[in-house]
Structure 1
Amino acid sequence: MFFLLCILATIQAQCELPNMSVGDFNITSEKQLKDVMKKEKSFLIGLSASWCEECCKREPLYQKLVEKLDHYRPRIPLIRIDAAKSPFIKKYLGDHDTVPQIVGVRNGVIYRYLDLMNIDKIFRFADKLYAPVKIIENLSDAQKFLTQPTGKFDTLRVLGVFYDSDLVEEFQKAVEPFCNWFSAEFTMIIQKSLVKELKTVRPDIQYLNGVVLLRSDEMKVLDLEVPQDIFMWVLRNSIGLVDEITPYNFQMYEANRMPIIIMFLDPSNIHTSSYLELYTKSARNFDDKVKFTWADGTSDEYLLKRRKLGLVTEILPSIAFNLGTKDIYPYPESEEITEEKLEKFVQGFLDGKKYPPQAKIPAKKSLMENCASISREEFDEKVLTEGYDAVFLVYSTYNNKESAAIAPVFNKICKRFKELEYPYLRIYVIDISTQPVHKTVRIDRVPIVYMVPAYSKSPPFVHYSGKGEILPIMFFIEKYAGVKFNLPELPHLSPNEAEEYWEAKEKLSKEQQEQVARDNERREYF
C-alpha cells in the first residue's frame, strides 16, 4: 500500500497543479448540481476523477480558462465534479462519462464539448451556451455572413430573418439544441428596417420571415409564413445526400438519429467520382431512412475505424454501417458493388436481417507461385513504363470463391508466358485483400484481369470480361498487346504436352476429336 501511495505521489508531482484544484467550486451531490442548474442559466463542468492519473495535466488549461471567463459578462462558472466521488453524474452523461472531459449546461440540459482542448474553442463553446443565436445589427454584417465561403463540408451557417417578432422566440428554442455544434453558427435579424434592406439586396431570400441555411456553398430558404418545424428542417438540411464524414460534421450525422453507412474510398484514385455516383444513386432511395456518407479509407484514423466496423482487408472502396455498438454490418468484401446489390444490402439491414458470418474461403495465393506480385509503389515503373505490355490480375485471398477458382488458371498462364519468353510482356498479380491498388485502377469486381498496352498507358485500362479459362485469357493478351506476337498452335501447352496431346487425340473417335479440338485448338475468341 505504501509503495502504491508513493507511485501516485510521484505522478501527482509531475503535474503543475493538483487534480481538481482549479474551478469556481466543486460539487459532490446531485442536489448541489440541481441547485446550480436552477441558479445559473449556463455553466461549464470540468469532469475529473481522483483515480485518474492523467487528469491533473488538464488543470493548467482549466486555470487559463477561468482567467478568460473572468472577463466574460455575464460570468460563466466552471464547476468541478470528481466522478469517483459523484456516481450520480453517470445518470446525466450515460456512457459518455469518460474523464477528463468538459461538458456544458444550458437551461438544465447537458451538452458535451466535442472539439479540441483549446482555450479559444472552449471559450467559444461557453459563449454559444450562453447565447446560441447572435443578433446581426447591420447590413454589412448580414451580407458578410451570407457571402462568406462555408468551406467544403465542415461549416454550417443559419440565419433567421424576422419581420414579425412573434417568431423570434420559436426560432431560438428550435436551434438551442445545436448549441454544441462547434462547426455551426446561428444568427438572426430582428430589426424590421434591416429585414427590408436585406431583401432589397438579396432577392433570393424570398420571405420576410424565414430561415436561411448555408452549407457546402449551397443555400436553402425556409418560409415561416406557414407553420414549420424549424428544428427538423435544420437537422435534415445540415448534411447533404452524400457528404464526406469528418470530425467536424460527425455530430450532425449523430444528431439525425438515423443509421449511418460509410463508403471508404481512396481519394487519389481517379475512379472515385464514379464510385460516388453509384453510391449516390442508392442514397436517394433511402434518404429518409439511412444517412449515406464517405470517408478517406487510406488515412490511419479511418484504417482503425474500418477494422472496428468489420472491414478486415485493404480493399477500397469498401462499405459498412456505423452502428455505434460492438455489432458489425459490413458489405461483403471482395464482392462486386452494384446499385442493385447495395440497395439489397441496405434494405436487409433495415429489415433487421442479421449480418451472416462469412465462410472462410482458403487463400489461393500459394497456387500462383509462377506469378509475380506487384505493389502500388512499383506500379508506375513496372506497369506504366512505355514499351512494355503489362497484364495484371486483381484478386483477393479473403473470402472470394471466384479468386480461388481463377488462381490455378492464372498460375498456368504465368507459367506458359514465362516459357514462351516474350521479352516485352510482363504479367503480375495484385492481392487487394492485403495491399491497396494504384490510383489508376478501377475495382468494380474481383477477380479482374487488366491489360495495359505498351504504348497506351492512360486509363481506363482494357479488362477481360470472358470466362476464367486459360485459352481465352491468353488470346485476349495477344489481341491487345502493343508489341505484337503470335501465340503457338496450342499456347496453353508446353512442347512436350502438345506432343502428348496430338498422340492422344489420334486414338480418339471422330466425335471425341472434334470435342477436344473445340476445347484446345480454338483461336478465335474475340
Structure 2
Amino acid sequence: MTSAPDPPPLPCLFWKDSKRASYNFYDDVHTLEAISSFIDKQMAKPITALKTIDEVTSFISEAVSNNHISLVGFFTDSDMQDDEIEDFTNYAKKVHSNSRVYCGIVEDEEVSRYFMKELKWFDRPPAVVLTRPKGDINLLMPEEEFNSNNTYHTSYLLDLETTPLSTWVLANSLPPVTYLTPYTFTILASIGKPMVLCFLDWKSSTSGNLPNSLITTEIQLAAREYSKDVTFVIADGSSHLDRMAVVGVKGGMSALPAIVINGNDRRTEVFPEELPINGETIGGFIAGFLKGKGGSMALAASKRNKRNQVIRDTNNEEEVDKVGQLETMDAESDSKFHIINVNSENFESVVLNEDKDVLLMVYKSTHCDKCKSLSVYYKRVGLRFWELGFENQINICRLEIGDGRSNLLPNLELGTLPILILLPKNRPRQPPYIYYTGVGKVQAIMKWVEENGGVKNLGELPHLNEEEKVRYKEQIKVREDRRKLRLSERELEEIEGKKLKKLEDEL
C-alpha cells in the first residue's frame, strides 16, 4: 500500500482487487450505506452494457434514486466510433472507484436514436449524457426545473467537445447552488474555481432577520451571472463554525448570515456585514473579488439597491478563562511556557525549518472551549520540552486560524478544532501531515512526538519534573498500600466466613 501513488490522508479505506496490482481508494462519506455502495460497485464491471430502452431508463432511474450520477455513452456505429468508445470506456475505468458515478454504454443504433430524436437528450452521436438528481428545489436554477421527473440531464458530444470529459463531468455533477457536505466539498475542490460560501442558520428558518429561502433566492440570482467563474455553496453555520473561522468570519452564530469568497490563490474575503444581501450586492462583491477590488463594487451596488438589510444578533457574552480548565494563549503565556506564535513573518524560519521537529497546534481563540481546554495541556508540553533541554531539537508552536493564517501551510486539512500536527525534522513540509488523534494529555502528546519525530530518550514520566515525580511515586505507594489493606480485610472476611459456614454445617 505504501507504494500506491498519492494515498489520501489517514484513516482511509481502499479496495484491492486480487487480479490487479492497483488500489482503489474510497473518497466518499464514511456511512454504512455509502461504503456498501462502494463495495458493490467495485465487485461489478466498470461499465454496464445497455441493450434496450428499458435497460437505459432503469439504469438511470436506479442511479438517480440512490442520489448517484449516471453517465451513459450513446453510439450508433462501433466501427466508425471505435476511438470515442475506447475513450469513454477508459474514463469509466478511471471513475470505477467513485461510488457516486455509474457508467453505462449503448451501442445499438435504434436505442441511441430513440433518446436522441424522441427524448432529445443529445443532438447527435457519439454522445455522453449525464443525469443527476436535482436536489432541493429551493437551491435550483429556474432552467433546471424543466424536467418533471426530478432529474437533470446534460449532454457531451465526444467527437466535438474540446473540454476533457473528466472536466465536463465535474462541472455538471452539482447544481449551480449546492449544499456543503463532505462529498460536495470534494467535487467543488476538484472543480478548482473560487468558492462563494453562504453560511446560514439552517436549523432555523431565518438567519438574522431574513428568511433562509429569501437569501438562497438572492444567491441564485448571483449564480445566474457568475456560475461560470465561481461555485456557490450553502452551508449550515452551526455545523461549520470552525470553517467559518478559517475563512475569516468572526462571532460564531451571531455573525449569520455570512458570505465569504475563498479564492484559489488563498485569498479570502468576507462580504461586508453592513451591506444588504441581494443579487446585486452579492454580484458586485464577486465581481470586485475577481478584479482584485474587494468589496468596493458591492458597496456601490448597495447604494442602488438596499433590499434585504440584515439585522444580526449581537453576542455580548464575555468569554472568561478558568485557570486549569479553559485557558487562552497569548504573548505572556508564550514566554512562560516557551511556545512560538506563528504568523506570516516568522512562518518560514520557524515552521518550514526542517532542521527541527515542529509541533503545531491549530486553534481559534474564541468560541472554542475544546481549544481552550487543550491549551492548558499544550502549555505544559512546551514547558516540559524546554525543561528537558530539547529547545534546539523541537519548536512548540501555535497557529490561530482566521485572517488567512491557516493558508500558510499548503493543503492543511482542518476538521474539528483544535488539531495537533507534527512536522518531523528532515522531512518536507507538505502532505501527508502527521495528525495527533490521541487523548489531550501531556504525557500522551510527548510520547507521540517521541515515536514520530526526531526527539528521543524522553525517559520515564517526561511530563513531570523531579519534584513532581517524587510526589507521584509517593501517591502511587499510598494507593498501593491502601489496595493491599483492602485486600487483607477482604481475605480476613472470607476466612471468617468459611469458619462460620463450617460451624453451621456441623450444627
Structure 2-normalised TM-score? 0.45
